[in-house]
Amino acid sequence: MLNNHFFSDNICKSCEETYYKNVEGCVTKVGKYDNCQFVNVVLNSCYECTKLFLLINNTCVTQSEVNNTTNVNSILKTTSEYNDNCIERSSKGCFKCSDGFYLHNSNCVPCKSPCSYCSNEMYCTKCGKYSYATNGKCVEINELLSTCDVMMSTYDGCVVCKDGYMRSSDGKKCDKCDISCKTCSNDGNCFICNDTYYRTPNNITKYCNPQEELTNCVNMTTNGCTQCEDGYALKENLCQKCGENCTFCDKYFECSKCEDDNILINNKLCFFSKFRLFKVFRCKKTNYGLVIVLPIMCIVVILFIIILLKTIILIVFNKKKENVLTENICIFKMKRSNIIMTKLSDDILSNKQEIMFGDDSDKIHIECENRELFCVGNNKKENMKLQITTKEGCDKYLIRTEPQLVTLKSGEACEFEVFLTPFCTMNLCDEIMIISLDLINGKKETTSVKIKAQTENSTRLDYDELIEDKKLGEGSFGIVYKGKYQGNTVAIKK
């Protein structure tokens, strides 16, 4: 140690308490950093004062000096560009400012007008008169007046917005309606359409549609079409085509005028009426063979076409029916899924070895349907049909599954929904069966899966868990037996 310095290998490692270390060595704190515990040599400022001293703008003072307003103001005038406005201090400086100020580098900086309370320079929590806070910013009322008809009494929001605007969810401002709306509700639904948009009286959509979508219309309005082109009639304010070859029809689509070369029948339908005249130059002998064979051939061709059309329609119908049946069925490729599948048998994979409803900490309710998901996959190279069957005629519980039947390709899996409705308090341990059918060789296989459940306690008990021991008594109320229920001694009345 030399001159209050501690040296190691001719290098100063630390200084005494009344000194601080900089690039030149140990420098005394007396005069510049009196009562300072730690000095920041980079910023040339005191970082923290010693005990019983408070840091005010790089100066360590006592609590009594802080209480002396004249002394504090003198320190602030010589050391800071800000007014103090600090209400709580520590040895490291100010850590709480007065209302209307925020803390920045141990200084209390005033919030920017019109903000009266703020947490930092960018975020305002309360605004002054004639403005309101939204998303940390102060918005002046002048901006709101351009979109608001009736202001709140506190002038910090709107009660009724102008046409074309709707109240925001917080009621602080008015948001513009959709471009198709002239007026709208607070949910954004159009009340009245803009001039170039329309909505028919029977239309329940949220927004209005462009009038350019009205086809074959002569006179367009915000309620739809009021006059159609020739050959079209109004139906629910939209233009629909009259019957074939008809140029004028009423709202019931009964024709009143037909196109040229057509005649009107019963004031409803138009039929083609133009005939060509052919001149006969020479009579020829009738070919009866052709007369007989040709109609037969025509009939055969027509029958073939009818059968072909019926076959195509039947195929399309069955395809659509299959799509409807499989619409809500979840089938997926196992190799593209992150679900871990394990073997139930050589041909069947599953994500669960047993299906569990409830546990000791979360027991299921009785007489309520409970749901669990269960994935079953095809591990064979051939396609197979899968069906899950459950026990029938059980009065303790009811099990059903969705879907009931599904066809899986090789490598595919299906997500089944298993629904359990217990009718009494029980610890269920049973099995359901997965029946698989190979669609190539017709081989049928049955695989069992355990199903377990723990139900809540109730007055509905599983009679198989009641074990009668001996008769205790008999009377008009019935016979009382001593017995066991789930390991507990109980009285059983019959």
Question: What are the pLDDT digits (tens) for 420-442?
Answer: 999 998 888 899 999 999 988 88
Q: What is the DSSP string of 351-398?
A: S-SEEEE--SSSPBPTTS-EEEEEEEEE-SSS-EEEEEE---S-SSEE
Distance CA 462, CA 456 (A): 12
Q: CA of 481: how far to CAs of 242, 474, 487, in Å?
A: 86, 9, 16
Is 38 a residue whose pLDDT tops 50? yes
The predicted pLDDT at position 470 comes to: 83
**321 annotated to bind ligand:** no
Between CA 278 and CA 284, with CA 279 as vertex, the angle to 5 degrees is 105
- The residue that leads in pLDDT, 46 or 78, is 46
The predicted pLDDT at position 170 comes to: 79
- The residue that leads in pLDDT, 28 or 342, is 342
The predicted pLDDT at position 219 comes to: 94
The predicted pLDDT at position 77 comes to: 45
Distance CA 380, CA 100 (A): 75
Rounded mean pLDDT of 359-367? 86
Q: Which of 78-87, 261-270, 354-363 has the least mean pLDDT?
A: 78-87
Rounded mean pLDDT of 442-469? 87
Percent of the chain residues past pLDDT 90, beyond the cut: 32
**Mean of pLDDT over the chain:** 83
The predicted pLDDT at position 322 comes to: 67
DSSP label at 412?
E
The predicted pLDDT at position 282 comes to: 56
Confidence category of residue 81, pLDDT binned at 50, 70, 90: very low
CB-based contact 176:164 (threshold 8 Å): yes
Is 287 a residue whose pLDDT tops 50? yes
- The residue that leads in pLDDT, 196 or 134, is 196
Q: What is the DSSP string of 225-240?
A: EEEE-TTEEEETTEEE
Instruction: Report CA dihedral (367, 373, 379, 384) to the nearest 10 degrees.
Output: 60
The predicted pLDDT at position 390 comes to: 84
Confidence category of residue 2, pLDDT binned at 50, 70, 90: very low
Percent of the chain residues past pLDDT 70, beyond the cut: 90
The predicted pLDDT at position 82 comes to: 46
Q: Which of 67-71, 239-243, 278-282, 442-446 has the least mean pLDDT?
A: 278-282
Confidence category of residue 392, pLDDT binned at 50, 70, 90: confident
Is 478 a residue whose pLDDT tops 90? no
Q: CA of 247: how far to CAs of 234, 254, 260, 321, in Å?
A: 14, 11, 10, 41
Domains in the chain (CATH in brackets) are 31-109 (no CATH), 131-209 (no CATH), 220-272 (no CATH), 332-460 (2.60.40.10), 466-493 (no CATH)
Instruction: Report CA dihedral (386, 391, 397, 401) to the nearest 10 degrees.
Output: 10
Question: Nearest to residue 85, comparing CAs of 225, 73, 296, 248?
Answer: 73
Q: CA of 176: how far to CAs of 168, 194, 263, in Å?
A: 9, 13, 56
The predicted pLDDT at position 56 comes to: 80
Confidence category of residue 307, pLDDT binned at 50, 70, 90: very high
Model confidence over 394-428: pLDDT tens digits? Answer: 888 999 999 988 999 999 999 999 999 999 988 88
Confidence category of residue 324, pLDDT binned at 50, 70, 90: low
